[in-house]
Amino acid sequence: MTQAVGDIIREASRLESLAMGIYTRLAATFRDEPDLHRFWMSMARHEAGHVGALALIAALIEQAGDSLRFEVEDSVVHEAAAVIEALHSEAAGRVSVDRAFEIAVELESLELEDLVLDLIHILSDPAARAQAEQMLLHDLSDLSLMIEKHCKSEDLLAKADVLVESRVGQREGGGFVRRC
């Protein structure tokens, strides 16, 4: 199902803001551990960048008026909403280091990132998308390294590594956004 792109952008922005809130809550939880605190703040800044990118996209769409039309698959946003809202509530409480990294892997596994990248690609030049993808890959690599450093779970590390590997070779398929 598709929905008006403005509505999708507003909801995606709300979800990215919640994701940023998850990471700032984790930063607060681990404020006494400088390495973890810095990492969680870095992840929050990444999500803040998405909020800013979505605001820019919304402004570009508004300025383009009827000259720019496309459809967005809304199932990605609806599926992400339930997960992100639950994780946001959970992060408000005390979580262990292992659970904090599980939350991050779950959050970064959502397809919302792909939707944001697709919107950036349509409304910007290919270099902007490439830069956004490179930043995401960097963050996922950092996530994997931090899991290796701070967790004992081989399964969680494997999941993080799969995320990194999927990003390295992913961009060949279709996206969530279609030009009309």
Tell me the DSSP string of 32-92.
TSHHHHHHHHHHHHHHHHHHHHHHHHHHHHHHHGGG--EEEETHHHHHHHHHHHHHHHHHT
Q: Is residue 81 situated within a structural domain?
A: yes
How many domains does the structure of the chain reveal? Answer: 1
- Tell me how many helices (H) and strands (E) the chain has: 7, 3
Residue 180 belongs to some domain of the structure: no
Evaluate whether residue 8 is within a structural domain: yes
Query: Is 148 inside any structural domain?
Result: yes
Angle formed by the axes of helices 97-108 and 75-91, to 10°?
Answer: 170
- pLDDT for 70 equals 60
- Rounded CA-CA distance 90/88 in Å is 5
In-domain check, residue 177: no
Q: Which of 159, 158, 73, 165 shows the shortest CA–CA distance to 114?
A: 73
| pLDDT of 169 | 66
pTM above 0.75, yes or no: yes
Does 38 reside within a domain?
yes
**Residue 162 belongs to domain with CATH number:** 1.20.1260
Report the 10 Å Cβ neighbour count for 43: 24
The tokens describing 15, both together, are 């979800």
Q: Is residue 52 part of a domain?
A: yes
Q: What is the pLDDT of residue 91?
A: 96
Structure tokens at 165: 């590997």
Question: Which pair of tokens denotes residue 29?
Answer: 């939880």
Closest listed residue to residue 91, CA positions, set 33, 22, 16 = 22
Edge-to-edge strand ranges of the sheet holding 2-3: 2-3, 70-73, 177-179
Can you give the pLDDT at residue 170? 59
Size of the chain in residues: 180
Question: What is the pLDDT, as a whole number, of residue 72?
Answer: 66
DSSP state of 68: -
Low-confidence ranges of the chain (pLDDT < 50): 1-2, 171-180
Joined together, the tokens standing for residue 63 give 């300025």
pLDDT at 178: 44
Write out the two tokens for 35. 């390495």
The answer to whether position 178 is within a domain reads no
Give the pLDDT confidence score for residue 61 in this predicted structure.
77
Structural domain span for residue 72: 2-172
- The identity of residue 167, as a single letter, is R
